[in-house]
Structure 1
Amino acid sequence: MRAPSRPHPSGIRRRAAIAGIACALVAAAAGCAESQRGEGGGEGGSLTFGAAGAPDLFDPFYASDGETFRVTRQIMEGLVGFKAGTADVEPELAESWEHTADGKAWTFHLRQGVKFHDGTDFDGSAVCANFERWYHQTGAGQNNALSYYWIENFGGFADGAQPSLYASCESPDPATATVHLTRATSKFPDLLGLPAFSMQSPAAMERYRANDVRAVGDSFTYPEYAQSHPTGTGPFRFVSYDQGNAAIRLERNDEYWGEKAKLHDLTFRIIPDETTRKQELESGGIDGYDLPNAADLKALRDAGNQVEVRDPFNIMYLGITQKNNPKLRDLRVRQALAHAVDRENLVRANLPEGAEVATQFYPDTVDGWASDVRQYPHDPDRARQLLAEAGAADLTLTFYWPAEVTRPYMPDPQGIYNALAEDLREVGITVNAVSKPWNGGYIDDVDNARADVFLLGWTGDYNTPDNFIGTFFGTPTSRFYTAGSPWGEQLAAELRAADGEPDEAKRNGLYQEINRKLLAEYLPAVPLSHSPPAIVVGENVHGLVPSPLTAEEFAGVTVTG
């Protein structure tokens, strides 16, 4: 969302391996009925999870942060979801769907008898009401900070100021909804599994004025709906957000349409400091937390906790900005950077267990991955030769790295920067470091081309190539290109063509060609690694299925003892 020590020369893709993680934490729940942990009783007891941050709100359409989605994912559902332990789409509120040959009309056949938490019906009219709500945002609702996922995936709004992927929605009967698009896209219907596009009760949104969001200076104020009345169809209901005690409480939805949650209640305690989260787990104050420090994994396991390392579904890359440094526009210089960095050593020394060297800008579990792309092995002599040929033996680079942040793909930004900077210095490049907080100037400076090279990455939202390379390189005016760059224009055009190809086999072939012939040859950035983030729970927690999307659901979890 808003990221190999063993390469894969055979091209064998690990979709089966990523699916296998689904069983990693599943355990028998026998004997759980007597659990009475915390305030709640019931079949599976109560679970308290340590959250790294506080959600701003509980309306996922206006959110883009993982901590909001961690909570709303338990409360709300989409037309489609992701199979547990994988990034593969499966039916959720829609039992099935089909599309027209041109990929522009998608008909969803909906589950019957499903109710929102307020007792109103989930049906075709509710589906269309949600799409129309998203499309008809006005004022602050169109701000990229609020409607980030709509803008990234659908584009513009009903006012027509920018083109939109969405055209209309119709419901010929309560069991059916047809969504019309303005063009075919590889993202559909996968993008509907994003928490931002969860189905919410039209009645509750109207009653509590869900769209009444307003800009106040550089921040926003949210309506009653987003603060205390989020209403979905999921296995848990929202109970309260006690800001004084930094705790969000949910309870089991006993009217849930599917298998009822085993837990009686679920609490998220907001604990920003990672060391404090570890101490709270050790003392029994919480039952688990996400993204433990790689240095703590052995100690956590030795203490009897269950530490699960998710399969990597991300990319970290060394970005290269060509706009301000003319030497970086020479392909030989970019090739020299690729040969200079020692990715094998980076993965071994600076990344957690299970990390892999990247040869492309997404993992080999994503369609369109090519087994025969050009390789850039660590070769300092070749890097020096290329720099000399390009007249850049005295190259100086401003290297940006982010402070006060960790990311699933970048767990130790300073250590990673140090390793890469040393590699560059070894081939004669002068490195000037600039470090800024992630939301305190880093992203702004990178987007405005103030960095020559920089660290960045991505954790996949869903399993399509466009979600990775379309996001990075799909705009010829992005941070990577000079104005009017023919390579940038060509790459953006071919990415649009691939995304718009409705035939899956042809589309995969187009993406393979992009990976082979454009990205590996043009080198707008250097892919570095895929890093597997970990999640830890106590030994008495059973049934948690770790997700490569870091999108765990807690309905199947029990807590004993």
Structure 2
Amino acid sequence: MRISKSRTVRAVTAALAVGMIATGCASERGKDGDKGGDKDTFVFAGAGDPSSLDPALASDGETFRVTRQAFEALLEHEPGGSKLVGGLAESWSSNDAGTVWTFNLRENVKFHDGEAFNAAAVCANYDHWFNWKGTYQSSAVSYYWQSIMGGFAKNEDKDAPKANYKSCTAKDPNTAVIEVHAPSANLPGGFSLQALAIHSPKALKAYATQAATGKDDAISYPKYSQEAGTVAGTGPYRITKWNKGNKEVTLQRFDEYWGDKAKVKNLVFRTISTEEGRRQALQAGDIQGYDLVSPADVKTLEKGGFQVPTRDVFNIFYVGMSQEKHPALKKPQVRQALAHAIDRDNIVKTQLPEGGKTATQFMPDTVAGFSDKVKTYPFDTAKAKQLLAAAGESKLKIEFCYPTEVTRPYMPAPQDIFELMKADLEKAGVTVTPKPLKWAPDYLDATEAGACALHMLGWTGDFNDGYNFIGTWFAEYDKQWGFKDPKVFDAVTAASKETDPAKRVEAYKKANDIIMEYLPGLPVSSSPPAIAFAKDVNPPKVSPLTQENFAEVSFK
């Protein structure tokens, strides 16, 4: 998931953080997290606020963690793994060309507002997205639609890609047929994305009466997406309240859910921006689980009897470089100098949990297509200085954005990591101007729009295909990076169109080699994020894709 992509430890004290989180229904459970209290409510702490209650408008994991409990896509992933399985579609198939996708839908499925789920509802959603206009065509708003299906019925944004979506047909009430113009490595995986989860047709009509406004890093999202009451999916929970003042989203069990009913009646997602604050809240019994455990806290929690499972590595953390924002970054020697200046091994050693790895390319080594022949840029301050001098940039001044009030699976402590990078760059003679931005929506919108010269982001894979990593950024022009290099774009696109699996993997390796020769940004690391639960909780299966299903949660 996208930018999905960063986080930071804020100057809020741990005492204040715990003071804020102690005020909710979770405090009824008692103070040791394993006895007494309310067995009807499970409270889970994330590190950042969701950006929207409509997942189609989002690209970040904090949003998807919440909406995934309420919305379902045509396809899903097996619990705890990355294998595609049926979601709202029991089965699916495609023609040999990969351009016609047929979905056999589940019967007797209801939306939270009472509407019936059927093929017409599926097509209403896809046509709704395809016909977006105005600000909805901004990549900061419709990132995933554009990544998977291309542009729109009528592109208004000059940077929007050519539409690949062709049509959706309700062949009968339980059969939906989606056609695209050309085969894509993003399919069928794209059909599993939260951003393409299915909404009630009644809700879609309400959505159509409102609009997102603004552009770049100043976007205002429609009212329906910022408060509960309008959005309606088919999931095991329905969203009932978003208390932004208390940084809390409340969901209630949907008793007419078609599948296994949620085991706990109420589900609360609460934002606690600091790692220490989340840990203390769990230890105090104010919450029953939290994500993105600090590496230093794992053993402490385990010794206290808490459960701390670790997900498999399936992410990349990187430093993005926006060439349009800062002309000096158009010089290859400058990008190479910045890469050599940053001590990535030190970041892995001091900031990541055990099992973290220094990255050499824009995908982890767990994904087929990883290349062992890419050009590398080892830490070398002297070489960085030489390259800057050769580029005529010995006194380089550059703005470096980093996110606040958040932690990401690939980036446990954003501000700490930023400070390490800043110190490294300054040793090489670079003057760094820090620019902290609140994660949602400010940081997400700014980085999507290419408004930051340097920025810290990352990616947790949505599905297991190399294109989901390198195709995310480098198949065509992307404002985040602000460069146009046909050699890079053509290599990534060629790989995505290769239908033979073995040849496709080799094509991904070649594309990785070309990307790292060009060096649009710096891959930093991959990290196995940990998640924690109280002693009295039967936790859900943890997912390498961070797609936990909280309907599986129960109390012992």
User: What interval of TM-score do these two structures reach, taking the shorter chain for normalisation?
Assistant: 0.7 to 0.9
- Mapped pair 1:147 → 2:125: no
Residues in 2 aligned to 1:83 and 1:256: alpha-carbon distance in whole angstroms: 19
Task: Name which of structure 1's ranges 375-384 and 104-113 shifts more when overlaid on structure 2.
Answer: 375-384
Matched position secondary structure for 1:512? helix
Residues in 1 aligned to 2:46 and 2:447: alpha-carbon distance in whole angstroms: 29
Residues in 2 aligned to 1:253 and 1:467: alpha-carbon distance in whole angstroms: 32
8 Å CA contact 1:58, 1:228 repeated in 2: no
Matched position secondary structure for 2:470? helix
Cα displacement (A) at 1:424: 4.9
Which of 527, 539, 552 lines up with 1:543 in the alignment? 539
Residues in 1 aligned to 2:384 and 2:141: alpha-carbon distance in whole angstroms: 44
- Mapped pair 1:398 → 2:398: yes
Match of 2:434 in 1: 435
- Mapped pair 1:198 → 2:205: no
Which whole-Å deviations, capped at 9, do the CAs of 1:281-306 have from their partners, x for residues lacking one?
22212111222334433333332222
Cα displacement (A) at 1:176: 1.4
8 Å CA contact 2:281, 2:287 repeated in 1: yes
8 Å CA contact 1:210, 1:226 repeated in 2: no
Cα displacement (A) at 1:273: 5.2
RMSD between superposed Cα atoms in Å: 3.4
- Mapped pair 1:94 → 2:89: yes
Q: Structure 2: which amino acid aligns with 1:499?
A: S
Which of 41, 60, 80 lines up with 2:55 in the alignment? 60
Which of 505, 509, 514 lines up with 2:506 in the alignment? 509
Cα displacement (A) at 1:143: 4.7
8 Å CA contact 2:125, 2:204 repeated in 1: no
Cα displacement (A) at 1:523: 2.5
Match of 1:494 in 2: 491
Which whole-Å deviations, capped at 9, do the CAs of 1:201-245 have from their partners, x for residues lacking one?
224544xx1322234675244249962143222222344445676
Match of 1:183 in 2: 182
Residues in 1 aligned to 2:112 and 2:329: alpha-carbon distance in whole angstroms: 56
| 1:431–1:369 CA distance, 2 compared to 1 (3 A) | same
| 1:264–1:403 CA distance, 2 compared to 1 (3 A) | closer
Residue ranges of structure 1 left out of the alignment (5+ in a row): 4-34, 41-45
Highest CA radius of gyration, 1 or 2?
1
Q: Structure 2: which amino acid aligns with 1:534?
A: A
**Percent of aligned pairs with the same amino acid:** 42
| 1:343–1:167 CA distance, 2 compared to 1 (3 A) | same
| 1:434–1:532 CA distance, 2 compared to 1 (3 A) | farther
Task: Name which of structure 1's ranges 373-382 and 133-142 shifts more when overlaid on structure 2.
Answer: 373-382
Match of 1:281 in 2: 282
Cα displacement (A) at 1:559: 1.1
Which whole-Å deviations, capped at 9, do the CAs of 1:382-422 have from their partners, x for residues lacking one?
6677678x476946453624152543323333433443455
Matches within 5 A, 1:404-553: 404-405=404-405, 406-424=407-425, 429-439=428-438, 444=446, 448=450, 451=453, 454-476=455-477, 478=479, 480=481, 488-516=485-513, 518-553=514-549
Task: Name which of structure 1's ranges 310-319 and 352-361 shifts more when overlaid on structure 2.
Answer: 310-319
Matches within 5 A, 1:228-247: 228-241=229-242, 247=248
Matched position secondary structure for 2:68? helix
Matched position secondary structure for 1:513? helix
| 1:282–1:430 CA distance, 2 compared to 1 (3 A) | same
Matched position secondary structure for 2:79? coil
| 1:51–1:351 CA distance, 2 compared to 1 (3 A) | closer
Match of 1:47 in 2: 42
Residues in 1 aligned to 2:447 and 2:239: alpha-carbon distance in whole angstroms: 39
Residues in 1 aligned to 2:140 and 2:337: alpha-carbon distance in whole angstroms: 37
Q: Structure 1: which amino acid aligns with 2:188?
A: P
| 1:450–1:51 CA distance, 2 compared to 1 (3 A) | closer
Which whole-Å deviations, capped at 9, do the CAs of 1:493-538 have from their partners, x for residues lacking one?
222222233443332221111113x123232333221123222111
| 1:221–1:38 CA distance, 2 compared to 1 (3 A) | same
Matched position secondary structure for 2:507? helix
Which whole-Å deviations, capped at 9, do the CAs of 1:121-147 have from their partners, x for residues lacking one?
322222112212222234454454443
Matched position secondary structure for 1:438? strand
Q: Structure 2: which amino acid aligns with 1:400?
A: F
Match of 1:211 in 2: 208
Residues in 1 aligned to 2:391 and 2:50: alpha-carbon distance in whole angstroms: 51
Matches within 5 A, 1:286-435: 286-320=287-321, 331=332, 334-335=335-336, 337-378=338-379, 390=390, 394=394, 396=396, 398=398, 400-402=400-402, 404-405=404-405, 406-424=407-425, 429-435=428-434
| 1:359–1:415 CA distance, 2 compared to 1 (3 A) | same
Residues in 2 aligned to 1:287 and 1:458: alpha-carbon distance in whole angstroms: 26
8 Å CA contact 1:186, 1:464 repeated in 2: yes
| 1:501–1:369 CA distance, 2 compared to 1 (3 A) | same
Cα displacement (A) at 1:78: 0.7
Q: Structure 1: which amino acid aligns with 2:286?
A: G
| Residue correspondences, number | 514
8 Å CA contact 2:402, 2:437 repeated in 1: yes
Match of 2:29 in 1: none
Cα displacement (A) at 1:184: 1.3
Residues in 2 aligned to 1:447 and 1:140: alpha-carbon distance in whole angstroms: 13
Residue ranges of structure 2 left out of the alignment (5+ in a row): 6-34
8 Å CA contact 1:402, 1:438 repeated in 2: yes
Q: Structure 2: which amino acid aligns with 1:164?
A: A
8 Å CA contact 2:397, 2:433 repeated in 1: no
8 Å CA contact 2:447, 2:480 repeated in 1: no
Relative to the length of structure 1, the TM-score reads 0.80
| 1:283–1:179 CA distance, 2 compared to 1 (3 A) | same
Q: Structure 1: which amino acid aligns with 2:522?
A: V
Matched position secondary structure for 2:251? strand
Which whole-Å deviations, capped at 9, do the CAs of 1:313-354 have from their partners, x for residues lacking one?
221224445568787666566555545543322211232332
Q: Structure 1: which amino acid aligns with 2:359?
A: A
